[in-house]
Amino acid sequence: EAQVTQNPRYLITVTGKKLTVTCSQNMNHEYMSWYRQDPGLGLRQIYYSMNVEVTDKGDVPEGYKVSRKEKRNFPLILESPSPNQTSLYFCASSKTTFQGTEAFFGQGTRLTVV
């Protein structure tokens, strides 16, 4: 089954404790991205990757890191999480970088930083 898989689905952590949210897609997609969803703000892009070893900042990259060492994986790293990073996070992938390509989303990771 074609899918984007995020882990974990739920995470509660403390301020400053490094964490990684994993994202994997099995569709051989070139483009992957991370979004955060906050009430009243919709989805805002954190980082995106157009292919292996090619990543760039989205609209809200501060406090986050990513890497794309393999085509299928695109982990999101919070080196020193803070409470303002409490949010719902989505990973998405698309077949190409063409702006009209459908994006496939993971089920989300709800992160709480206390």
Partner 1 sequence: AQSVTQPDIHITVSEGASLELRCNYSYGATPYLFWYVQSPGQGLQLLLKYFSGDTLVQGIKGFEAEFKRSQSSFNLRKPSVHWSDAAEYFCAVGVIGSARQLTFGSGTQLTVLP
Q: Interface with partner 1 by CB under 8 A: which residues?
A: 4, 31, 33, 35, 40-45, 48, 50, 56, 58-59, 90, 92, 94, 97, 99-103, 105-108
Sequence length of the chain is 114
Q: Closer CB to partner 1, residue 13 or residue 45?
A: 45
Smallest separation, CB 70 to partner 1 (Å): 20
Minimal distance in Å, beta carbon 18 to partner 1?
25
Q: In this complex, which beta carbon is closest to partner 1, that of residue 6 or of residue 85?
A: 6
**68 contacts 76 by C-beta, under 8 angstroms:** no
In the chain, DSSP assigns E strands to: 4-7, 10-13, 19-25, 31-38, 42-51, 54-57, 65-66, 76-78, 87-94, 104-105, 109-113
CB of 15 to partner 1, least distance (A): 26
